[in-house]
Every structure is written in C-alpha cells, then in structure tokens.
Amino acid sequence: MNRPRLVDGARLQYDDVREEHLLLIPEGAVRLNATAAQVLELCDGERSLEEIAAALSQRYAGADVADDVREMLGGMGERGLVVDAAA
C-alpha cells in the first residue's frame, strides 16, 4: 500500500458520548485508540506510508513508528477499511 486512504464512505468521528474515536463505516463502527485515529487522519491518499510514519514520529518525539504504522494499516487493509489511492 503506497498512498493509503479510507475506503469510500468511511468517516472518522470522535464519539463524545463514549469518549472514544470511531471509524464509521456502512452499518458499523470500528473503535480506535487515539494513535490509530491520528494515523487514519493522515491517510488522505496523497501521503505515502513513509510520510505518514514521519509525521506521526514528529508528534512522538522522533520515536520510530514506521513498523507500527505499517502493521496497523496492513491490518486495516485486510479488513477493507483502508485502500491504496492508486488502486
């Protein structure tokens, strides 16, 4: 996956009732931790995986998050929630 974006119709939303981040999809909702929500916010179909990891790393004092980001987006891709913008 080079330039990930959310699948058509998926929408990030903070649920202020449950106080958690949700990825809203057709007839479902995926609960997200704060980091996962930050990663998905960066998935605009323009940024590459490396750029997403770099942007996130900046927020976490330069920590190496590339593997975590790749793993998380890989999992999201397998569930059809994130797709490659070029596909």
Partner 1 sequence: MPPPRPYTLVAELSYQCPLHCPYCSNPVDIAGDRYRAELETEHWTRVFREARALGVVQLALTGGEPMLRRDLDELVAAGRAGGLYSTLVTAGTLLTRERAERLKEAGLDHVQVSIQSPDPEENDRIAGIRSFEKKIAAARAARELGFPLTINCVLHRQNLDQIEEILLLTEELGAQRLELANTQYYGWAVLNQQALIPTRAQLERGEEAVQRFRARVGPRITVLWVLPDYYEDLPKPCMGGWGRSTIVVAPNGEALPCQAAATIPGVEFPNVRDHSLNWIWNASDAFTRFRGTDWMQEPCRSCPLGRQEEDWGGCRCQALRLTGDAAATDPVCKFSSHHDTVVGAREAAQTDELTYRTMRRQAGV
Query: CA–CA separation, 25 vs 32, rounded Å?
Result: 13
- Whichever of 10 and 39 has its CB closer to partner 1, that residue is 10
- Name the 3-class secondary structure at 17: coil
Least separation, in Å, of the C-beta of 8 and partner 1? 5
Chain centre distance of CA 23: 9
Binding site for partner 1 (CB under 8 A): 7-11, 13, 15, 17-18, 22, 24-29, 77-80
Identity of the residue, 12 or 42, whose beta carbon is nearer to partner 1 in the bound complex: 12
Return the number of the residue (10 or 56) whose C-beta is nearest partner 1. Answer: 10
Least separation in angstroms between CB 25 and partner 1: 8
Residues 6 or more apart whose Cβ sits within 8 Å of residue 31:
20, 21, 22
